[in-house]
């Protein structure tokens, strides 16, 4: 065991964060700390690193072990470049390397005993340097920077000039390089794109130390953790397994508790009815029996009623009218900012009822595309058309559609003037705004609160084509699951940008990846995308590159595959892969049999038997003939 929290308690005034909660973490164990927003997850991390004192209980770290902590908000101030800042995590190795170079220079001028003594020290130091991976730390450092999404031309940027998200990535990289015995990470996937999150998953899986992670990224938790610690209503519970296993166990436990409570309540009512009936007989024996039952009731250990969460969003999405089958048609759309080309001549169509996720690295133009479709930003070239009766509902991650100088109540009443005060209050209550909260200014709200206001407006819009930009940002896991349910029950069309892979897996029927300034299409959810990504990206990239260089007479629109053609290409590619696999298996089988025949023919029992030799010789000739044909098929399929 590396860390133990024993009977810890913490409250801020009347708000109880945790009461007599206990959990522990073993060496090398990867653990998730989860709970609703405001449940106290970050507070627990701060208590572990002693930024905040506990009210009661003990937090014990094994003697000699080190802790590294990444807080959710970084106030990193440094005059160093990004590369210099990460190098500071390896200051000991850098100093050791400098000492080794100095000793090498000194030894050139030493002789006899002095040289032997210095040589001995030199060997000890270089051995220690090698054990601590000193010869590879430069490449390790570059690998971490690139893994976290920094390009080489950004390494020389000054840390003070970076955005908050970039500073968080620098702090995370520096922390990973220091390699503490236990990592405490508060929302480490914020500000990371999908490739960087995938890199971090692999890094943490192979990390020699223990890790305690606060995160709302369920896909990330499924891949990394083997234990879940949940804080709920001040209580702490531990579950073995990843997030999905925890969710299933939690559901079973909750259902069992509800059943136990209801059964006991039913038993209590039954006993009370029996007692009342016995007393109504008004006989000495019946009264004694009634008193005996009353004593049994008094001694009964009452099952606590399971607490219903009142912090959940409650909403449904339903279009006011049905659109035509053709919802959106995009033709040869292009957009650049200066010399930076985001996308060029992209074309695609969206049909009614599709739920499409747009994915891609940061900076590829996903949000810009949504802004173009909502006429917030103009395209450089190309056009798009909305289908018949299409009504757009837009969720903007930057919340530009909200008015910062209005109250929450006015934001809704001005947008939907036909709603009564009661209807507005009921709507806002479903999004957790009650009492005087509805009179807060939009400009004073947190990112999560603004997101809830935007979702409320989206629900009221009754649009039949939802365009959503990072809708799960700032939502806790429970709220994400409610949004997933609402979208899956929604009968309209959805186009959204998201980095939340679990959310995409649950809600998308089609994925469009923006890569190399164009779209690659996948008809399926995120798991299907992962399965097919490598082969399709290679196929489409090669195809597009060849068409652009070899066929200058064709227009760009003629060279772009629409989504139907891409679906057909996808099917053909699957068939090619299957045929290739079958040919390879047959070749392996025949080659193995050919070798067996050679062994058999060298056996005295066989080479003295002319009939058997002739049979084997004919089989060998047939095998070689078939192999010749198979080799040609394999070559054709491989090309």
**264-274 confidence digits (pLDDT tens):** 999 999 889 88
State pLDDT tens for residues 69-105.
998 876 777 788 999 999 998 888 888 889 888 888 8
Does residue 618 surpass a pLDDT of 60?
yes
Does residue 632 surpass a pLDDT of 70?
no
Among the listed residues 16, 115, 7, the one whose alpha carbon sits nearest the alpha carbon of residue 60? 7
Q: What is the DSSP string of 75-97?
A: ----SSBHHHHHHGGGHHHHHHH
Share of the chain above pLDDT 70, in %: 91
Q: Is domain 309-391+474-561 annotated with CATH 3.40.50.300? A: yes
Q: From CA 628, how far away is CA 625, in angstroms rounded?
A: 5
Does residue 466 surpass a pLDDT of 90?
yes
Q: From CA 460, how far away is CA 318, in angstroms rounded?
A: 9
Residue 305: DSSP 8-state? P
Least confidently predicted of 150-159, 225-234, 445-454: 445-454
Average pLDDT of the residues in 96-119: 86
Average pLDDT of the residues in 389-412: 87
Place domain 1-76+162-241 in its CATH homologous superfamily: P-loop containing nucleotide triphosphate hydrolases (3.40.50.300)
pLDDT of residue 636: 65
Does residue 329 surpass a pLDDT of 90?
yes
Backbone angles phi, psi at 69, to 5 degrees: -130, 125
pLDDT of residue 132: 81
pLDDT of residue 600: 81
**Stated length of the chain:** 639
pLDDT of residue 362: 80
> 263: pLDDT confidence band, cut at 50, 70 and 90?
very high
Backbone angles phi, psi at 491, to 5 degrees: -95, -5
Q: Judge if 1-76+162-241 and 309-391+474-561 fold alike in CATH terms.
A: yes
Average pLDDT of the residues in 407-423: 92
* Mean pLDDT across the chain: 86
Average pLDDT of the residues in 376-384: 93
Q: From CA 531, how far away is CA 523, in angstroms rounded?
A: 12
Sheet holding 518-522, edge to edge: 392-395, 465-469, 493-497, 355-359, 510-515, 518-522
b/e code 216-243 from CB counts within 10 Å (16+ = b): bbbbbbbbbbebbbbbeebebbebeebb
> 596: pLDDT confidence band, cut at 50, 70 and 90?
confident
State pLDDT tens for residues 121-149.
888 998 888 888 888 888 899 999 999 98
Does residue 53 surpass a pLDDT of 80?
yes
pLDDT of residue 333: 94
Token pair, residue 186, equals: 């508060």
Non-local (6+) Cβ contacts of 406 within 8 A are 414, 441, 442
Average pLDDT of the residues in 613-635: 78
Q: Are 150 and 82 in contact (CB under 8 A)?
A: yes
* Residue written as token pair 């910062």: 404
Q: What is the architecture of the domain spanning 568-638?
A: Orthogonal Bundle (1.10)
State pLDDT tens for residues 294-322.
999 999 999 888 876 555 667 788 898 99
pLDDT of residue 311: 55
Strands, E assignment, 111-252 = 182-186, 210-214, 227-232, 235-240
pLDDT of residue 554: 43
Q: Are 205 and 224 in contact (CB under 8 A)?
A: yes
Domain residue spans of the chain: 1-76+162-241, 94-156, 248-299, 309-391+474-561, 397-461, 568-638
> 188: pLDDT confidence band, cut at 50, 70 and 90?
very high
Higher pLDDT, 576 or 547: 576
Q: From CA 535, how far away is CA 576, in angstroms rounded?
A: 11
Which sign does the torsion angle of CA 33, 36, 42, 45 carry? negative
Which sign does the torsion angle of CA 621, 623, 624, 625 carry? positive
> 359: pLDDT confidence band, cut at 50, 70 and 90?
very high
pLDDT of residue 635: 59
pLDDT of residue 558: 44
Does residue 497 surpass a pLDDT of 80?
yes
State pLDDT tens for residues 537-553.
566 555 545 544 544 44
Specify the 3-state DSSP secondary structure of 595. helix
Among the listed residues 319, 252, 286, the one whose alpha carbon sits nearest the alpha carbon of residue 492? 319
pLDDT of residue 556: 43
Token pair, residue 302, equals: 């009452």
pLDDT of residue 559: 40
Q: Which one of 161-175, 580-594, 623-637 scores highest in mean pLDDT?
A: 161-175
Token pair, residue 548, equals: 């652009």
Number of H helices, E strands in the chain: 21, 18
Average pLDDT of the residues in 23-28: 95
Residue 65: DSSP 8-state? -
Non-local (6+) Cβ contacts of 57 within 8 A are 5, 6, 7, 8, 9, 20, 21, 22
Specify the 3-state DSSP secondary structure of 40. coil
């Amino acid at each position: 065991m590396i860390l133990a929290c024993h009977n810890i308690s913490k409250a801020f005034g009347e708000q109880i964060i945790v009461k007599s909660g206990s959990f522990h973490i073993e060496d090398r164990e990867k653990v998730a700390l989860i709970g609703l927003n405001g449940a106290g997850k970050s507070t627990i991390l701060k208590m572990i690193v002693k930024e905040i004192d506990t009210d009661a209980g003990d937090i014990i770290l094994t003697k000699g072990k080190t802790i590294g902590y990444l807080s959710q908000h970084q106030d990193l101030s440094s005059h160093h470049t990004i590369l210099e800042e990460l190098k500071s995590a390896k200051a000991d190795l850098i100093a050791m390397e400098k000492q080794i170079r100095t000793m090498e220079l000194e030894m050139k001028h030493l002789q006899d005993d002095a040289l032997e003594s210095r040589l001995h020290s030199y060997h000890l130091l270089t051995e220690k340097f090698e054990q601590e991976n000193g010869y590879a730390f430069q490449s390790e450092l570059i690998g971490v920077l690139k893994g976290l999404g920094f390009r080489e031309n950004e390494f020389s940027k000054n840390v003070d000039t970076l955005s908050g998200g970039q500073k968080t990535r620098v702090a995370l990289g520096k922390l990973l390089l220091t390699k503490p015995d236990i990592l405490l990470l508060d929302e480490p996937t914020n500000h990371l794109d999908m490739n960087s999150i995938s890199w971090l998953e692999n890094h943490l899986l192979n990390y020699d130390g223990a890790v305690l992670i606060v995160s709302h990224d369920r896909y990330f938790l499924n891949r990394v953790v083997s234990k879940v610690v949940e804080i709920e209503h001040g209580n702490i519970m531990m579950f073995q397994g990843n997030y999905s296993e925890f969710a299933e166990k939690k559901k079973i436990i909750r259902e069992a508790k509800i059943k136990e409570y209801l059964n006991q309540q039913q038993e209590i009512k039954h006993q009370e009815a029996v007692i009342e009936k016995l007393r109504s007989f008004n006989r000495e024996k019946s009264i004694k029996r009634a008193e005996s039952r009353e004593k049994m009731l008094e001694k009964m250990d009452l099952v606590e009623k399971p607490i219903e969460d009142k912090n959940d969003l409650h909403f449904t999405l339903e279009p006011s009218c049905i659109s035509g089958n053709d919802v959106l048609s995009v033709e040869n759309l292009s957009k650049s900012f200066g010399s930076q080309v985001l996308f060029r001549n992209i074309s695609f169509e969206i049909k009614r009822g599709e739920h499409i996720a747009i994915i891609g690295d940061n900076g590829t133009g996903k949000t810009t595309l949504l802004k173009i479709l909502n006429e917030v930003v103009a395209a450089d070239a190309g056009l798009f058309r909305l289908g018949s009766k299409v009504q757009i509902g837009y969720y903007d991650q930057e919340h530009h559609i909200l008015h910062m100088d209005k109250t929450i109540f006015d934001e809704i009443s001005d947008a939907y003037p036909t709603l009564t005060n009661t209807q507005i209050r009921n709507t806002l209550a479903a999004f957790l705004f009650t009492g005087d909260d509805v009179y807060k200014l939009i400009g004073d709200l947190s990112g999560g609160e603004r997101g809830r206001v935007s979702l409320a407006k989206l629900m009221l819009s009754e649009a039949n084509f939802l365009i959503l930009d990072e809708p799960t940002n700032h939502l806790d896991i429970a709220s994400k699951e409610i949004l997933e349910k609402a979208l899956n029950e929604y009968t309209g069309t959805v186009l959204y940008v998201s980095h939340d892979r679990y959310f995409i897996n649950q809600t998308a029927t089609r994925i469009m990846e923006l890569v190399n300034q164009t779209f690659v299409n996948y008809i399926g959810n995120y798991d299907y995308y992962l399965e097919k990504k490598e082969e399709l990206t290679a196929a489409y990239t090669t195809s597009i590159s060849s068409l652009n260089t070899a066929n200058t007479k064709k227009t760009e629109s003629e060279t772009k595959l629409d989504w139907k053609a891409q679906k057909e290409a996808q099917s053909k590619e699957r068939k090619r892969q299957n045929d290739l696999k079958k040919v390879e298996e047959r070749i392996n089988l025949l080659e193995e049999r050919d070798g067996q025949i050679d062994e058999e023919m060298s056996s005295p029992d066989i080479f003295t038997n002319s009939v058997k030799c002739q049979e084997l010789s004919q089989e060998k000739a047939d095998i070689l003939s078939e192999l010749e044909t198979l080799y040609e098929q394999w070559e054709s399929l491989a090309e």
